[in-house]
Amino acid sequence: MMMYMEARMGDVMVRKQIYLPRQQNQLVKRLAKQRGVSEAEVIRQALKREAEMSAPVVRDSKRALDEIIAFARSLREHSELMQGEPIRWNRQELYEERESRWFEKDEGG
C-alpha cells in the first residue's frame, strides 16, 4: 500500500483513512461525480474552505492584539499614569479577599 505520493504540484500527499456516515459517503460520491474530481479532492476542497472560513477569526485576533499593544504603548506616553509603586498581588490573596467579602454578605444578610 502506498502511504505517500507526489501531487502534480510537487506537494507530498499523505494517505488518510476516515470513517463517514453512509449519508456523507453518498454525498461525497455525488459531489465528486458532479464536479468530475476524485472523492479525495472533494474532501480536500472542503477542508480548504473550512480553513479559509476560520482565517478571518485569526486576522481579527491579530488586529485585536495589535490594538492592545498600541494601547499599552500609548500608556507609556502618559507618565502621570505610571506614578507610584506597581501593584503586587498573588492569586491566593485575591481569592481569600474575595471569599471574605462573599461570606460577609452571607452573614450580614
Q: What is the pLDDT of residues 34-72, one digit of tens each?
A: 999 999 999 999 999 988 887 666 667 888 899 999 998
Q: What is the pTM of this model?
A: 0.46
Please, which pLDDT band fits residue 5 given cuts at 50, 70 and 90?
low
Contact 13, 7 (CB under 8 A): yes
Provide, rounded to the nearest whole percent, the portion of the chain with pLDDT above 90.
Answer: 40
Selected residue with higher pLDDT from 28 and 9: 28
The average confidence (pLDDT) of the chain is: 83
| Helix-helix angle 22-35:39-76, to 10 degrees | 100
Please name which of 11, 10, 13 lies closest in space to residue 2, comparing C-alpha atoms: 13
CA distance 104 to 109: 8
Select, from the ranges 9-18, 43-52, 83-92, the one with the highest average predicted confidence (pLDDT): 43-52
Task: Give the per-residue SS3 of 71-100.
Answer: HHHHHHCCHHHHCCCCCCCCHHHHHHHHHH
Local confidence band at 109 (pLDDT 50, 70, 90 cut-offs): low
| Cell output for 23 | 449519508
